[in-house]
Amino acid sequence: MRTKALLLISGGLDSAVAAKVVLQQGIGLEALNFVSPFCQCRKGCGDLAKLAEELGIKLHIVPLFEEYLEIVKNPKHGYGSNLNPCIDCRILMFKKAKAFMEKIGASFLVTGEVLGQRPMSQRMEALRLIEKESDLEGLVLRPLSAKFLPPTRAEKEGWIDRELLLSIKGRSRKKQYELAKTYRISSFSCPSGGCLLTDPGFSKRLRDLLKHCSDPTLNDIELLKLGRHFRLSFEAKLVVGRNREENEKIRKLCRSGDLLFEVPSFSCPVSIARGSMSEEDILTSARIEARYSDAPKDGSVEVKCSTFDGKVVTLNVRPASEKELLALMIC
Claim to verify: residue 216 and residue 170 sit in the same structural domain? no
| pLDDT exceeds cutoff 80 at 303 | yes
Q: Where are the alpha helices (DSSP H) in the chain?
A: 13-23, 44-55, 66-73, 86-104, 124-133, 153-156, 174-183, 200-212, 218-224, 244-253, 279-292, 322-328
Judge residue 328's burial from the number of C-beta atoms within 10 Å of its C-beta, 0-12 exposed, 13-18 middle, 19 or more buried.
middle
Q: State CA 72 to chain mean position distance.
A: 12
- Whether 123 and 129 have beta carbons less than 8 Å apart is answered as no
The reported pLDDT for the residue numbered 46 is 56
Please indicate, yes or no, whether residues 281 and 191 belong to a single structural domain of this protein.
no
What is the bridge-based pairing of β-strands 236-240 and 271-275? antiparallel
Number of folded domains that form the chain: 2
Burial tier of 175 (Cβ tally within 10 Å: 0-12, 13-18, 19+): middle
Q: Tell me: pLDDT of 191 over 90.
A: no
pLDDT above 60: residue 193: no
Among the listed residues 214, 319, 229, the one whose alpha carbon sits nearest the alpha carbon of residue 272: 229
Q: What is the mean pLDDT of the chain?
A: 94
Same domain, 186 and 134: yes
- Residues 47, 22, single domain; the answer is yes
Average pLDDT over residues 243-264: 98
Q: How far apart, in whole angstroms, are the C-alpha atoms of residue 323 and residue 325?
A: 5
Q: What CATH number did the domain enclosing 23 receive?
A: 3.40.50.620
Contact present, 147 and 54 (Cβ < 8 Å): no
Examine the domain organization and report whether 97 and 243 are in the same domain.
no
Give the integer Cα–Cα distance in Å for 245 and 222. Answer: 14
**Residue 109 near residue 27, CB atoms below 8 Å:** no
Residue 12: helix, strand or coil by DSSP? coil
Q: Do 217 and 129 belong together in one domain?
A: no
Decide if pLDDT at 190 tops 70. no
The answer to whether 271 touches 240, Cβ cutoff 8 Å, is: yes
Chain centre distance of CA 215: 18
Tell me the pLDDT tens digit for each residue of 10-59.
Answer: 888 999 999 999 999 999 999 999 999 998 765 555 588 999 999 999 99
pLDDT tens for each residue of 86-132: 999 999 999 999 999 999 999 999 999 999 998 889 999 999 999 99
% pLDDT > 70, the chain:
97
Q: What is the DSSP string of 280-292?
A: HHHHHHHHHHHHH
Sign of CA dihedral 183, 189, 191, 195: negative
Same domain for 146 and 255?
Answer: no
Q: Could you say which of 144, 165, 195 is where a domain stops? A: 195
Q: What is the DSSP string of 92-126?
A: HHHHHHHHHHHHHT-SEEE----BTTSTTTSSHHH
Task: Mark whether 45 and 149 lie in a shared domain.
Answer: yes
Statement: residue 1 has pLDDT above 80: no
State yes or no: pLDDT of 69 exceeds 70. yes
The reply to whether 49 and 36 lie within a common domain is yes
pLDDT at residue 5 is higher than 90 = yes
Domain that holds residue 312: 199-328
Is 255's pLDDT higher than 80?
yes
Check if the beta carbon of residue 253 is closer than 8 Å to that of residue 223: yes
Of the three residues 180, 195, 210, the one that is the final residue of a domain is: 195
The last residue of a domain, from among 178, 195, 212:
195
Quote the pLDDT of residue 120.
86
Q: Enter the pTM of the model.
A: 0.89
> What pLDDT was estimated at residue 3?
97
pLDDT digit string (tens) for 234-249?
999 999 999 999 999 9
Note whether 27 and 148 are same-domain residues. Answer: yes
Q: Are residues 184 and 320 in the same domain?
A: no
Residues 156 and 224 in one domain: no
